[in-house]
Amino acid sequence: MAATPPEQRIWWNEPIERVELIWIFIAFLWGLFMFGFMIAWHFIGQQNLSKEAYRIAPTAYEQKVENFAKQFQVREEQGIPVVKPKPGADVYLLARLWQWWPILELEKGQSYRIHLSSIDWQHGFSLQPTNINIQVHPGYEHVISLTPTESGAFGIVCNEFCGIGHHTMTGKIYVTDKKQAAADQRLAEQR
């Protein structure tokens, strides 16, 4: 019994059941495959989280975001600037209690270098309903090359608990498809 000492003193000399051996072999191969697939996705996949990150003081980041917003602001919504950067540009998004700032307007099929950081506590960048979820730290500036593949209005929800107003912490990204045909072609090439 499993609750009593093994009958054979030297239990490691016991034979292994064949069914066990086969299962161990299958489990091992499956593990190897899953390991390999993560590496492979860096080559065949279009969704790999960037490792580009920098240390930055929260105040310095706040300054960068404000400059960025001033430069590209096109209008205002609920007192928050709506910012439309050029395709390929560096885009700054700031997380703070309890807001994602500013509102972004991007173009479908265009790639942007999105910078993410917080100026106070940890927050969670959760783009909805496109389910992309990234952790946001104070003191670390994370840069992600992002290409929207659909147009419309998207929500950013904070999904790292950040205090009593956590559930009010939302943001917005608009994706327009003015250059629809060109965007579709570029996407098709990238896929």
Partner 1 sequence: MTAETVIGAVGRQAEFRTCQYTGLKVDTAAQTLIKANAVAAVVFLAIGGLMGLLVALTRWPAVHLLPADWFYLILTGHGANVLLFWIIFFEIAVLYFASAVLLNCRLATPKLAWLGFVLMVVGALMTNVTVLQGDSSVMFTSYPPMQAKPNFYLGIVLFAVGALIGCIIFFATLVIAKEEGTYEGSIPLVTFGALTAAIIAVFTIATGAIILIPTWLWSLGLISDIDPLMYKVVWWAMGHSSQQINVSAHVSLWYLIGALLVGAKPLSEKVSRTAFLMYILFLQLASAHHLLAEPGLDASWKIVNTSYMMYLAVMGSMIHGLTVPGSIEAAQRRNGFNRGVFEWLRKAPWGNPAFSGMFLSLIFFGFIGGISGVVLGTEQLNVLMHNTIYVPGHFHGTVVAGTTLAFMAATYLVLPLIFQREIVWPKLAKIQPYLFGIGAAGISLFMMGAGTLGVARRHWDITFSDANLSFAYSAGAFLMMGLNGIFAVIAAIGGIIFVLVVVGTVLFGEKIESGHKLTFPLHSGGGAVASHYGSEGTVKLPGTIILVGIFFVCFVLYYFINWKYLSELWLFR
> Which positions from 91 through 130 interact with partner 1, judged by CB under 8 A?
99, 103, 111, 116, 120-122, 124, 126-130
Structure tokens at 26: 């299958």
SS3 state at 185: helix
d(CA 178, CA 142): 29
Judged by CB under 5 A, the residue of 169, 173, 175, 183 near Cu ion is 169
Of 123, 115, 117, nearest to 158 by C-alpha is: 123
- Pick the piece of the chain touching partner 1 (CB under 8 A) from 3-11, 60-68, 85-93, 177-185: 3-11
Residues from 55 through 74 that contact partner 1 (CB under 8 A): none
Dihedral sign from CA coordinates of 149, 94, 168, 84: negative
Structure tokens at 138: 């104070």
Residue 25 touches which of partner 1, Cu ion, none (CB < 5 to 8 A by kind)? Answer: none
One-letter amino acid of 9: R
88 is a contact residue toward partner 1 (CB under 8 A): no
Instruction: Report the 10 Å Cβ neighbour count for 146.
Output: 17
Residue 185 touches which of partner 1, Cu ion, none (CB < 5 to 8 A by kind)? Answer: none
**Smallest separation (angstroms) from Cu ion to the CB of 96:** 8
147 is a contact residue toward partner 1 (CB under 8 A): yes
Structure tokens at 164: 């009593």
144 is a contact residue toward Cu ion (CB under 5 A): no
Residue 176 touches which of partner 1, Cu ion, none (CB < 5 to 8 A by kind)? Answer: none
